[in-house]
Structures are given as structure tokens and as C-alpha cells.
Amino acid sequence: MASATETPETVLHPFQENDGWLTRTEYLSRTIYWGIHAACLLVFVTGAPRGALILCAATYALRVFGITGGYHRYFAHKTYKTSRAFQFVLALLGCAATQKGPLWWSGTHRRHHSYTDVPGDPHSPREGFWYAHQGWIFDPHWGGTPVELIPDFARYPELRWLNQWHVLPPLALAGLCWAIGGFAGLVWGYAVSTVLLWHATYCVNSLAHIWGSRRYDTDDTSRNNPLIALLTFGEGWHNNHHYYQASARNGFRWWELDVTYYVLRALAAVGLVWDLREPPASVLNGTRGRPAELREAA
């Protein structure tokens, strides 16, 4: 846990070569961000064709897994193992979610766990709901990739390249949506799907720290929220995750829906991933140490 006296200024990460030019172009990136939001209004022009709605659901589901199963549970927490080739596939899926590159996302998330709810946390709810939900992404303190926090994956040149050119997978996805469904496919399959995915992800940072139940007495404000878990394929079991972040499974009880974990189990069954880390009995029954001790296991 970081010192409570440390301020965000002490963890400022300047933009680097591997962050990509768009990241450093603040006004253009803001225009694109809000432009994608505004593009959702075009559904009043296109209507809601069945094919476009199916495309929206498909691109949402695939990219949710790219964030949860790829960026989060693999790159940020290393809760399972995979091949170098499938590692790149996971990074591509995560990039397609339009949440920047794998090194930036995962390194920043590791910082969140090191500084949760204290100065230095990129999206602490103590800074206000709006800031925790999405305001932080425009804060230059968190704009650069904290390479020193993710040296294990920064050693791969293909991941550094993807981190720099993180704009390419979203552009390719937008083009694919257009090719499949025309203008309606682009609006629903990319714009609407992306905005829904953004705010579902943001809810883990904001709502899941202020609304829900707390099974474990962690040193932060994390909460379990079944609605957010449904929308994010298991990430809403956030108190579970903060208590024991080393697990590939966030839903610790059989009734805690965790779609990401089910997909990982299916991928393990066909040999694409392996060594999924499970929470031990001492974690499930809450008898194993405080979160500060558990971080050592992660």
C-alpha cells in the first residue's frame, strides 16, 4: 500500500514513444471520445435493424472479454498462462475495446491496486463519482504508460507496438462493422457497442466502490455488485477481487455469475490457456490475512 502522503504529482508518467500519437493529442482524443458518444444518436436515423442489434451484442461481448479476460485477468494480474500467440490475440481484443493499449491499461490497473482509494490511485471515488467514472481518463497524470509497473509484458516488442498503435484495432473493427452491416452496422456495432462497453467498465471503478455489499473487510471501498457483474462478465464481484486479486475467478460462490471465468474454463479445455489460479479455501471462507498480505500472493 502506498503512503497516504504521496500525491499524484509524484507518480506522473510523461507520454512516451510507445504511448502513440493520439494519446498525446489531447483535443483530438477528446473530440473522438465525445464524437463516438454523439454518434450513438444516429440510431434515430438508422433505426434498429435486427442484424445491427446482433452485431452490437456480438462486438460488445467479444470486447468485454478482451478487457476482462485479457487486459484485466491476464495482463494486469497474470491469473493464468497462455502462449505468446494467444497472448497477442487477447491484446488485440482488448485494444478493439477502444480503451488504449495493453501496457497502459494493465500498468495503470496495477497502480490502482497499489494505491486503492488513497492519493496515487488513478480513479479513486474519494475524488468524486464523475472523476472515478471517467474524468480520470482525461487527467494527464495517468496519460503515459507506467512501463516500470508492467516490465513482464513490456519486454514483448509486439505488445509495445500494439500499445503504440492502439488506434488500429478500433479502426479495423469499425470498418468491419460497416462491411457487415452498412451504416447501421457501423453505428450499432461500433459506436453504441463501444459507449456501452466504456461505461460498463467505468462502473467497476465508480459504482463498484460505492454501491453493493462487502463480504470481506478490505482496506478499500470495493463492493460486490451483481448488476455490474452481469454487465461486465464478472467484474462486479469487486470486493472479492480486491480481497484476492490473484484469482482467475471473481465470482467466489457458485451463484455469483462470472462469464469471463466460464469462458476461460472453456479455453482451458481446448488448451489455449492453462494454470488458471483459483482462490484457496482460506480465501473463500475469509480466514486468510488482510488484503495487504494477500497482495504478496498476487
> 30 lies in a domain?
no
Tell me whether residue 7 is in a domain.
no
269 domain residue, yes or no: yes
- Average pLDDT by consecutive 10-residue portion of the chain (298 residues)? 42 55 65 94 96 98 98 97 98 96 95 86 86 87 87 96 95 97 97 98 93 91 95 96 94 95 98 96 74 46
* CA dist., res. 252 & res. 117, Å (int): 23
Q: What is the reported pLDDT for 119?
A: 84
Residues 105/99, Cβ–Cβ less than 8 Å: yes
- Please tell me the pTM assigned to this model: 0.88
In this prediction, residue 34 carries a pLDDT of: 94
Measured on CA atoms in the order 137, 141, 144, 145, is the torsion positive or negative? Answer: negative
- Asked if residue 185 belongs to a domain, the reply is no
Q: Is residue 18 part of a domain?
A: no
Residue 6 lies in a domain: no
> What's the confidence (pLDDT) of residue 125?
82
Per-residue pLDDT at 288: 66
72 lies in some domain: yes
Domain coverage including residue 285: 60-173+196-297
**Residue 164, pLDDT score:** 92
Predicted local distance difference test score (pLDDT) of residue 7: 45
Domain assignment of residue 249, yes or no: yes
- Three-class secondary structure assignment of the chain: CCCCCCCHHHHCCCCCHHHCHHHHCHHHHHHHHHHHHHHHHHHHHHCCCHHHHHHHHHHHHHHHHHHHHHHHHHHHCCCCEECHHHHHHHHHHHHHCCCCCHHHHHHHHHHHHHCCCCCCCCCCHHHCHHHHHCHHHHCHHHCCCCHHHCHHHHCCHHHHHHHHCCCHHHHHHHHHHHHHHHHHHHHHHHHHHHHHHHHHHHHHHCHHHCCCECCCCCCCCCCECHHHHHHCCCCCEHHHHHHCCCCCCCCCCCCCCCHHHHHHHHHHHCCCEECCCCCCHHHHCCCCCCHHHHHHHC
Q: How many domains does the chain have?
A: 1
